[in-house]
Amino acid sequence: MLESYRQHLAQRAAQGIPPLPLNAQQTSELCELLKNPPPGEEETLLDLLTNRVPPGVDEAAYIKAGFLTAVAKGEITCPLIVPQAAVYLLGTMLGGYNVQSLIELLKSRDTLLAAKAATALSKTLLVFDAFHDVLALSDVNPYAKQVIDAWCNAAWFIGRPQLQEAITVTVFKVPGETNTDDLSPATHATTRPDIPLHALAMLETRMPGGIEIIAQLKQKGHPVAYVGDVVGTGSSRKSAINSVLWHIGNDIPHVPNKRAGGYILGSAIAPIFFNTAEDSGALPIECDVTKLETGMVITIHPYKGEITNEAGEVISTFTLKPDTILDEVRAGGRIPLLIGRTLTDKTRAALGLEPSPVFARPKQPEDTGKGYTLAQKMVGKACGLPGVRPGTSCEPLMTTVGSQDTTGPMTRDELKELACLGFSADLVMQSFCHTAAYPKPVDIKTHHELPDFIAQRGGVALRPGDGIIHSWLNRMLLPDTVGTGGDSHTRFPLGISFPAGSGLVAFAAALGVMPLDMPESVLVRFKGELQPGVTLR
CA distance 117 to 108: 9
Q: Read out DSSP for 375-444?
A: HHHHHHHHTTSS---TT-EE--B-SEEEE-TTTHHHHHHHHHHTT-SS--SSEEEE--TTTSSS--HHHH
pLDDT tens by residue, 1-12: 999 999 999 999
Contact criterion met (CB below 8 Å) for 125 and 118 = no
Indicate the SS3 state at residue 373. Answer: coil
pLDDT tens by residue, 448-503: 999 999 999 999 999 999 998 888 988 888 889 999 998 777 888 889 999 999 99
pLDDT band at 536 (very low <50, low <70, confident <90, very high): low
Annotate 289-357 with three-state secondary structure: CCCCCCCCEEEEECCCCEEECCCCCEEEECCCCCCCHHHHHHHCCHHHHHHHHHHHHHHHHHCCCCCCC
Which of these, 80, 84, 89, lies nearest to 35 by C-alpha position?
Answer: 80
What's the average model confidence in pLDDT over 240-255?
Answer: 97
Q: At what angle do helices 24-35 and 42-51 cross, to 10 degrees?
A: 140
Which of these, 30, 102, 93, lies nearest to 72 by C-alpha position?
Answer: 102
Residue 109's contacts (CB-CB under 8 Å, 6 or more residues apart) are none
User: Across the chain, how many H-helices and E-strands are there?
Assistant: 22, 16
* Phi, psi of 258, rounded to the nearest 5 degrees: -145, 145
Q: Does residue 381 have a pLDDT over 90?
A: yes
Q: What is the pLDDT of residue 60?
A: 98
What's the average model confidence in pLDDT over 77-102?
Answer: 97
Q: In Å, how far from its chain's centre is CA 428? A: 18
Q: Decide: pTM greater than 0.85.
A: yes
What's the average model confidence in pLDDT over 246-273?
Answer: 97
pLDDT tens by residue, 318-375: 999 999 999 999 999 999 999 999 999 999 999 999 999 999 998 889 888 899 999 9
Q: What is the pLDDT of residue 478?
A: 87
What's the average model confidence in pLDDT over 246-252?
Answer: 97
What's the average model confidence in pLDDT over 270-298?
Answer: 96
CA distance 425 to 399: 5
Q: What is the pLDDT of residue 359?
A: 97
Q: What is the pLDDT of residue 537?
A: 57
What's the average model confidence in pLDDT over 389-396?
Answer: 94
Reported residue count of the chain is: 537
Q: What is the pLDDT of residue 118?
A: 98
Beta strands 460-461; 427-430: pairing state: parallel
Which of these, 435, 403, 394, 418, lies nearest to 501 by C-alpha position?
Answer: 403
Cβ burial of 109 (10 Å; 0-12, 13-18, 19+) is: exposed
CA distance 128 to 424: 11
Which contacts of 371-379 are long-range, i.e. CB under 8 A and separated by 24 or more positions?
373/521, 373/523, 374/521, 375/496, 375/521, 376/518, 376/521, 377/480, 378/480, 378/481, 378/482, 378/495, 378/496, 379/482, 379/496, 379/516, 379/518
Domains of the chain: 1-153 (1.25.40.310), 167-331 (3.20.19.10), 374-518 (3.30.499.10)
pLDDT tens by residue, 201-236: 999 999 999 999 999 999 999 999 999 999 999 987
Q: Which helix (H) or strand (E) holds 284?
A: strand 283-286
Residue 525's contacts (CB-CB under 8 Å, 6 or more residues apart) are none
**Rg, Å, the chain Cα set:** 24
